[in-house]
Amino acid sequence: MMTIDRKRSALVLVDIQPDFMPGGGLPVTDGHRILDGVRKLMDSDAFGLQVATQDWHPPDHVSFAANHPGKEPLEVISLHGHDQVLWPLHCVQGTEGAELHPELPWGQVSVIIRKGDDPRTDSYSGFRNNWNPDGLRPGTGLAGYLRERKVSDLYVCGLARDYCVKWTAEDAAAEGFRTRVIWDLTRSVDPSGDDDLRKTLASAGVELVESSELEMESPS
């Protein structure tokens, strides 16, 4: 079992939004299956801090295939010098699919990072945008927010495992946080890449854990 150092640990909830679940705009297979386990973590007293990210795109966002005439979802283009997957419409600002999932207790989450709001730039990670037209990846402020609260250990869950969870965890490790992905509380857009993803994350210094390994105290 793994004991969570409550004062130094934050739970990072990545893009747990209806559009990433079956029936949504960019459905991740079994995305809804993380909900019960995530709720258990949120309701526990195990983490001194809980933070969330919310994918939050304007309708004219560059990541939408619909904004590139002749292109289909999942085609890849070059954008600002890097590969960009084109996605179906998802998480459009103000729509139901973009809400934080209504079945989870968001009240105790102290900061929500809305990302992907710049129409010219995608943003998978909660820590930095993808590359912007200047070739930079501007930070969101989340690293500083966590550091100022003396958080050193991050436990990352949410959707999608192979995009926003991956990028968030990699950036977290690069920022110097001890970073753990709670593997069973994530799901991939393309599960055929999961074996490679485990290796990629491990090489980036990210630990993979299962929620069953986490020592959880019930709320008192």
- Residue 171 interacting with Zn ion (CB under 5 A): no
Pick from ligand VGL, Zn ion, none: which does 163 bind, CB < 5 to 8 A by kind? Answer: ligand VGL
Specify which residues 78 forms β-bridges with.
Answer: 83
The answer to whether the beta carbons of residues 101 and 54 sit under 8 Å apart is: no
Pick the catalytic residue: 15, 55, 162, 171? 15
Output 9 or 140, the one with its CB closest to Zn ion: 140
In the beta sheet, which residues pair with residue 10?
Answer: 49, 154
Residue (124 or 127) nearer to ligand VGL, CB: 124
Catalytic residue among 157, 164, 166, 171: 164
Pick the piece of the chain touching Zn ion (CB under 5 A) from 38-46, 113-121, 178-186, 199-207: 113-121
Q: What is the DSSP-derived secondary structure letter of residue 63?
A: T
User: Is the CB of 47 or the CB of 87 nearer to ligand VGL?
Assistant: 87
Chosen residue from 10, 34, 151, 159 binding ligand VGL by CB under 6 A: 159
In terms of CB distance, is 102 or 219 closer to ligand VGL?
102
Site for ligand VGL in 161-190 (CB under 6 A): 163-164
Strands (DSSP E) found in the chain: 2-3, 9-14, 49-55, 76-79, 82-85, 111-115, 153-159, 178-187, 207-209, 214-215
Could you say whether residue 55 binds Zn ion (CB under 5 A)? yes
Q: How many whole angstroms from its chain centre is CA 181?
A: 10
Count CA within 13 A, CB hemisphere, residue 188.
12
Q: Is 164 a catalytic residue?
A: yes
With a CB cutoff of 8 Å and minimum separation 6, the contacts of 133 are 80, 120, 121
Bridge partners of 3, per DSSP, are 215
Q: Which residues bind ligand VGL (CB under 6 A)?
A: 15, 20, 55, 87, 124, 159-160, 163-164
Mind telling me the catalytic residues? 15, 115, 164
